[in-house]
Structure 1
């Protein structure tokens, strides 16, 4: 007797180990649950709350009294101020910003025919509790205008847009224009200083106040359920599948999400809607309180057999779940919020599939490589095989009736022959009251090949084993799948031969 094949096929043999978006749990009894997951949406608060550029334009000239006294006093200081507010397209009422990057442009153009100096202060823009101040001198050299263009880097500064909790969205500067008289040069009311300043390119690390109202239109995304990618064919009906959307939220603002539509797609049944009371309903989500800066709060929305038609839709199991969702930030109006530049909403889609269900037809396959046949010689003389007996010991450890077949393949993968004329039936293993296999079913089979048939298959170096499964009573009895379940096959051959001397 010559050993030919010793193979073992379990559920793990259909799992593609390269799949990165699947995790498998196995309880203490070895019961499998598969969870497929896919991020279906992610957006940072910086995608919504943006600080638009802010512009100040002011022209400053001396008063009549200041003009009259300048030749006498030789220097005059003229003070002025200006405030402006940020655009609030979404109703923002911001109080504080910590700046990650951005700048203040300070562009000056003077037609004074005298030397001037500008000291400009932004009293509510501070670093290390010191207000931002910039001094610029423009000396008259006989031609006008005298121009100075400056950029002030705001990285690391904080801006109090509330001006000590009295306002929102407000930026103010104060300035002192000092004019130093040049003897012989005229002075009049037409001479002026044009000031252009503001905020540009602001990116924040932190913001608080009311960040605004935002309607979020989330693009459609798909969760792939690839549990049987390596299976040949099948109709599998799961007893307790679950579909989830898990929302991770680090934006400190009341928010809600809505599953506008949740669909599945199956190669067998096509597209089907998941229905339930939480479909097309605004669902409030958890969010960090003002004291929980940097934390992420989680909300799980689950559809299962208790609140939806998921169990029906998963009969048979689909290949995809299609998420169509939307959301709202601050649906209830003005409240106090805080955000950082890393604050975001992320939604993960999940399909949880406990491996309990019914199987009306399911086919697993396993390829066996490097088959070698006996090279029979007697005293160095070739032997002609007249017939060969393939002896099979098959063990069915699944709670499933199985029809098994093996095909011999040539080097191109084409079928050379089959082991049986028709698939061979193996009854389910013995099952206890809980539906778990206690004793595998073992069968022994002998298949006789004549000389021509043996010669044909002995040229093959690989084979593929097909196992056709169905649960009891034509797939009407639910079963559970455990890690210990296996189909085992041991094949050896005996040959009858003539020896040529």
Structure 2
């Protein structure tokens, strides 16, 4: 298909002929249309096929169709921890605050990047007070959090004392067993007697974290539900292509310090002939294990690459049915083994992102794979000439193991067929012979002529479109032997036109 696009020299609405200076007499003119050398790797890269082209070290070509990376960030998990810190009502000089986190979280410690502590209490004593509040689980530079108040009695009670917006940036909150926070306070009268305070409430606000460590839950959540469009078969009409080793590749980038299982809810392929087909694999049902950085790799991202292929799935059969799109829905289960003894971590920049791509190596079998394309066509430069006939000469030297059979139809602006290029579909490029590995061993030359009569020329002078049906057949003498197309295999093409103009 890529070869034929360039091969017939249809140049976006311009004539294929130069307009020579013609006199008023019978004459025959030969016009070179083009001479070119193409390698398939270059042709595929130059064309806009809606895909990425990969040239492998051995020269093999892969077509890659990719979805977008999608994922989840650490902020959602940090929000769960923040929700656990409800307002603290301090009713005694030692007040324990237990975990209030839903699920299976067991936090060892978190590092606070921003946020504030706010306190308010009443004193109903008609004396001054010295109050010291400490929270041993909050530490910064080796010191626990401590704040001192002086309550000045001014003649009436209650004396309301408030602390607003004391920064907690840089503090580490370290849990102790089931206790998240312990609030200690010491309130003393001038004579040294300890007393209790009334209406004592502590509120932590606007907390943000940049690190957490512990067992961080066994949540399951959707990561991505997406579609990978496969444009290879967009112009398909008939026949089939069987890729020898197609792959669906899951790439996961994980900077959370704990494992995930990638669980596919579904993976389906939309095909041109058979509708929607299920991809079947033990890893669809059982999940894909996602790697993770350990505690010595904080801040690093670990990549997991997993391939669904012909050995662990039915991909060869499914993608042999003419794929148009891959639909998938994937969830992630964190800490899938529920091993609470496994201590993990996350930072404020941690995330997990996944992408699914379809890789189609150009190794396979084409069984009369027919595609159709339409190009602009214009013979206006010759519309005033009295043309007796036009003879096309086409010469090809081909190293590719692909035979190309073509038929073209000239159509007007309403796509009404005016005439055909050939009487019957014609082999315009002969496939090169291959060895037992499916690699071509020699080049093959092919020359053919095609003449358009005066009647045909007159019919196609108003043509605006060339509809091209192109059939590809691999060179294998064995239907099951896949051929391998390499990036440096070349096709040398020469095309000329000879037309006779009469007075």
TM-score (ref. length: structure 2): 0.78
Between the aligned partners of 2:188 and 2:51, the Cα distance in structure 1 is 68
The residue aligned with 1:468 is 471
Deviations 1:177-221 (A, max 9, x none): 34469xxxxxxx9x9532211433432111112222223344533
The alpha carbon displacement at 1:97 in A equals 1.0
Q: What does residue range 165-176 of structure 1 map to in structure 2 within 5 Å?
A: 167-176=177-186
The residue aligned with 1:334 is 340
The residue aligned with 1:42 is 71
The alpha carbon displacement at 1:241 in A equals 1.2
Between the aligned partners of 2:273 and 2:53, the Cα distance in structure 1 is 25
Between the aligned partners of 1:168 and 1:418, the Cα distance in structure 2 is 83
* Pairing 1:3–2:31 present: yes
Q: What does residue range 57-206 of structure 1 map to in structure 2 within 5 Å?
A: 57-59=89-91, 80-142=93-155, 144-147=157-160, 148-162=162-176, 167-179=177-189, 192-206=197-211
The residue aligned with 2:422 is 420
The alpha carbon displacement at 1:236 in A equals 1.4
User: In the superposition, relative to structure 1, how do residues 20 and 140 fare at CA in structure 2: closer, same or farther (>3 Å)?
Assistant: farther
Q: What does residue range 86-485 of structure 1 map to in structure 2 within 5 Å?
A: 86-142=99-155, 144-147=157-160, 148-162=162-176, 167-179=177-189, 192-229=197-234, 235-330=240-335, 331-335=337-341, 336-363=343-370, 384-393=386-395, 398-408=400-410, 417-426=419-428, 428-433=430-435, 434-437=437-440, 438-450=442-454, 452-459=455-462, 463=466, 465-471=468-474, 477-483=481-487, 484-485=489-490
Between the aligned partners of 2:178 and 2:123, the Cα distance in structure 1 is 33
Between the aligned partners of 1:118 and 1:411, the Cα distance in structure 2 is 91
Between the aligned partners of 2:64 and 2:51, the Cα distance in structure 1 is 8
Query: Matched residue of 2:386: which SS?
Result: strand
The alpha carbon displacement at 1:161 in A equals 1.9
Q: Quote the RMSD (CA, aligned, Å).
A: 3.6
Between the aligned partners of 1:213 and 1:45, the Cα distance in structure 2 is 14
The residue aligned with 1:75 is none
The residue aligned with 1:22 is 52
Query: Matched residue of 2:231: which SS?
Result: coil
Q: 2:121, 2:199 within 8 Å by CA — same for their partners in 1? A: yes
Q: 2:255, 2:352 within 8 Å by CA — same for their partners in 1? A: yes
Between the aligned partners of 2:308 and 2:273, the Cα distance in structure 1 is 22
Between the aligned partners of 1:105 and 1:234, the Cα distance in structure 2 is 73
The alpha carbon displacement at 1:435 in A equals 3.3
User: In the superposition, relative to structure 1, how do residues 495 and 86 fare at CA in structure 2: closer, same or farther (>3 Å)?
Assistant: same
Gaps of 5+ in 1: 61-79, 182-188, 377-381
User: In the superposition, relative to structure 1, how do residues 387 and 293 fare at CA in structure 2: closer, same or farther (>3 Å)?
Assistant: closer
The alpha carbon displacement at 1:171 in A equals 1.1
User: In the superposition, relative to structure 1, how do residues 286 and 390 fare at CA in structure 2: closer, same or farther (>3 Å)?
Assistant: closer
The residue aligned with 2:15 is none
Between the aligned partners of 1:125 and 1:364, the Cα distance in structure 2 is 69
The residue aligned with 2:20 is none
TM-score (ref. length: structure 1): 0.78
Between the aligned partners of 2:407 and 2:260, the Cα distance in structure 1 is 57
User: In the superposition, relative to structure 1, how do residues 487 and 201 fare at CA in structure 2: closer, same or farther (>3 Å)?
Assistant: farther
User: In the superposition, relative to structure 1, how do residues 150 and 264 fare at CA in structure 2: closer, same or farther (>3 Å)?
Assistant: same
Deviations 1:316-373 (A, max 9, x none): 2422233333343222331222221222332222322211111123345677668667
User: In the superposition, relative to structure 1, how do residues 136 and 146 fare at CA in structure 2: closer, same or farther (>3 Å)?
Assistant: same
Between the aligned partners of 2:381 and 2:362, the Cα distance in structure 1 is 42
Between the aligned partners of 2:386 and 2:269, the Cα distance in structure 1 is 59
Between the aligned partners of 1:18 and 1:178, the Cα distance in structure 2 is 80
Query: Matched residue of 2:316: which SS?
Result: helix
Between the aligned partners of 2:179 and 2:300, the Cα distance in structure 1 is 26
Between the aligned partners of 2:473 and 2:349, the Cα distance in structure 1 is 51
Query: Matched residue of 1:275: which SS?
Result: coil
The residue aligned with 1:74 is none
Gaps of 5+ in 2: 1-28
Give the count of matched residue pairs: 461
Q: 1:402, 1:425 within 8 Å by CA — same for their partners in 2? A: yes
User: In the superposition, relative to structure 1, how do residues 231 and 145 fare at CA in structure 2: closer, same or farther (>3 Å)?
Assistant: farther
